[in-house]
């Protein structure tokens, strides 16, 4: 599916993303929005490696699915909505 070079690049992007999250979390003075920039860059960088150009848009206006924290566009078309939660939240308590 992906060659070793692509896997290595993706691995670096993932490690960088988790490193940035840890740095913010370890500082202790954060809110949910503190992590948005990390996620935005992760989506853009991993998309490039996986062969598409995704543009994550932070805090878009209300849509038919509510007010998501992000939406992702590919070739000008919205391909997904993302609802981010803080790193200390239990995701089992949220409705899908």
Give domain limits for the chain. Answer: 4-93
Higher-pLDDT residue of 95, 33? 33
- Does the pLDDT of residue 80 top 90, yes or no? no
Instruction: Please say if the pLDDT value at position 93 is more than 60.
Output: yes
pLDDT (tens digit, 9 = 90+) per residue, 22-49? 999 999 999 888 988 999 899 889 888 8
- The answer to whether the CB of 17 falls within 8 A of the CB of 37 is no
Six-digit token string for 67: 């007010």
- Predicted pLDDT of residue 19: 97
């Amino acid at each position: 599916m992906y060659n070793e070079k692509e896997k290595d690049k993706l691995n670096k992007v993932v490690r960088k993303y988790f490193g940035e999250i840890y740095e913010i979390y370890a500082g202790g003075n954060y809110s949910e929005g503190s992590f948005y920039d990390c996620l935005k860059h992760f989506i853009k960088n991993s998309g490039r490696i996986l062969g598409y150009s995704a543009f994550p848009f932070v805090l878009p206006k209300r849509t038919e699915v509510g007010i998501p924290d992000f939406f992702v566009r590919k070739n000008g078309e919205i391909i997904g909505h993302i609802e981010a939660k803080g790193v200390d939240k239990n995701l089992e308590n949220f409705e899908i």
